[in-house]
Structure 1
């Protein structure tokens, strides 16, 4: 028997309020409570944090890192190296929420990321995820779930509501330049910025790829342990790379695919209502 056999299944449907779907459509983000229950989170926290420690390549002290490196320790595609993480990342409950928020029947996995912000870790500057992704669709959504309770001083998320409607606001990745540029842009108030609020382990935010967002620094003595899963609507295709980093994104998350191909590589399984039906084409 697999040592992961007794992990919670995470297959039951989540009671998603239609008002949350409407709020997501209007604002480009939504926060949901108890997406994973207090009984379900601890065993997955052990699995994910253990895999993150084993596979992290970051060894530099905080003071030797740039802004991106101080923002978080980032470990990607953990579902490919740990079967327990795979159960979490491909969970039909989470995929079902993503599909309903996007208004599509099925989603595919784009990739996962563990984002651990250490004590003293810096802010994550304002950015739009979709700047990084060579995809021909706006139908992407990221689930951002803390594996530990987050107090207000632990590096919580903020969103610029409605910013997703403007698509690409600037070709800027996570950087000091992006923080300055977007903070200036938001001064006119047309995209209200949400306040940082405490979250319980298992709560989650969901945001669209073009939704402008950032995270505060971790001023606590506790590591902010967060797991993210990025979904893309089934049927999306690879876009022509427009930026230098799009080539590495394509190789990392959609190996073997090129412009015009469906996003359906071995790393992009179809996530349906039945885990046994998850497949790649």
Structure 2
């Protein structure tokens, strides 16, 4: 069995944009999926080589869809959802959203037993134990994001270690689409081969950070970092600068993407023609015996500066 499953090139008419810039077709490529049946050693090797693995169908699809339905049922009172549809569809309302209430409900959801159970479901935990070659530790600070179609919301390019410098660098981020997330819905895109670029950037930061206090050195908001710890908001420029492609995918409920803490990634705007909300969560695992960044021992809060 081959390591990569069959995958098609991005659709010819696919247009992905973020922060007012459209990624040219020649700077787009396909994220390569991995069949989990190839075995943990081969998966780990591919992760080291590519900086990511996109595991198809690792989680039960029906349970992911049910959780999507549960999340949106809890957000319905905010006006975020168009009435009259199955909450699992996640059809966004056109207007009259109470964003303050939506923020409060989101913070309640990420503190819920249901969310904890979703992130720590047995198939994922068993896989991470094997992948990390020991007992896996799931960081308490876990992020959930929803994105309305037709808005400018998009996560700029970054690598995750910027926000987790207070512990081990042997971290693994797991990104879980909560529902189907075709490329035009604004799922994660990865800069091809950029785990090597991220390592170089981090080495340069360490070289220049001798004048910083220990507290500043681990902060993504210190004087040597760009705003918010981002690498760039200009995805086409980054692709040109490093002569690389942004790798995109049509994710499905049940998929899991693991990526290196040095892998540069971003999200694009939600251009879903059916008006569906993109829903996803990103969580961090590590071996429990490695040093843990104590700042991540609290639940995620909006504007917590991490």
Relative contact order (C-alpha < 8 Å, sep 6+): which is higher? 2
State which of 28, 31, 43 in structure 1 corresponds to 2:66.
Answer: 43
Q: Write out per-residue CA displacement over residues 40-96 of structure 1, whole angstroms, 9 at most, x where no aligned residue.
A: 2222222334456689xxxxxx9xxxxxx9xxx89468453x222121122232123
- Tell me the equivalent position of 2:150: 120
- Tell me the equivalent position of 2:245: 193
CA contact (8 A) 1:125 1:215 kept: yes
* Structure with higher helix content: 2
- Tell me the equivalent position of 1:25: 48
Q: Write out per-residue CA displacement over residues 3-32 of structure 1, whole angstroms, 9 at most, x where no aligned residue.
A: xxxxxxxxxxx7463433221111111111
Say if 1:117 and 1:94 are closer, same or farther in 2 by CA, change over 3 A. Answer: same
In structure 2, how many angstroms separate the alpha carbons of the residues matched to 1:201 and 1:137?
A: 30
In structure 2, how many angstroms separate the alpha carbons of the residues matched to 1:209 and 1:173?
A: 19
Q: Write out per-residue CA displacement over residues 75-129 of structure 1, whole angstroms, 9 at most, x where no aligned residue.
A: 468453x22212112223212333444x331221112211111112333211112
Task: Kindly indicate whether residue 159 of structure 2 is the aligned counterpart of residue 107 of structure 1.
Answer: no
- Tell me the equivalent position of 1:254: 297
- Bigger Rg, structure 1 or 2: 2
Give the total of aligned pairs. Answer: 216
TM-score normalised by structure 1 residue count: 0.64
Q: Write out per-residue CA displacement over residues 233-257 of structure 1, whole angstroms, 9 at most, x where no aligned residue.
A: 2122256xxxxxxxxx82xx225xx
Task: Kindly indicate whether residue 290 of structure 2 is the aligned counterpart of residue 230 of structure 1.
Answer: no
- Tell me the equivalent position of 2:190: 159
In structure 2, how many angstroms separate the alpha carbons of the residues matched to 1:138 and 1:176?
A: 18
CA-atom RMSD in angstroms: 3.6
Unmatched runs of 5 consecutive residues or more in structure 2: 1-35, 79-93, 206-224, 300-306
- Tell me the equivalent position of 1:133: 164
1:176: Cα distance to partner? 7.7
Unmatched runs of 5 consecutive residues or more in structure 1: 1-13, 56-61, 63-68, 240-248, 256-266, 268-281
SS at structure 2 position matched to 1:115: strand
CA contact (8 A) 1:124 1:174 kept: no
In structure 1, how many angstroms separate the alpha carbons of the residues matched to 2:249 and 2:178?
A: 16
SS at structure 1 position matched to 2:185: coil
Say if 1:125 and 1:184 are closer, same or farther in 2 by CA, change over 3 A. Answer: same
TM-score normalised by structure 2 residue count: 0.59
In structure 2, how many angstroms separate the alpha carbons of the residues matched to 1:115 and 1:24?
A: 25
CA contact (8 A) 1:131 1:172 kept: no
- Tell me the equivalent position of 1:208: 260
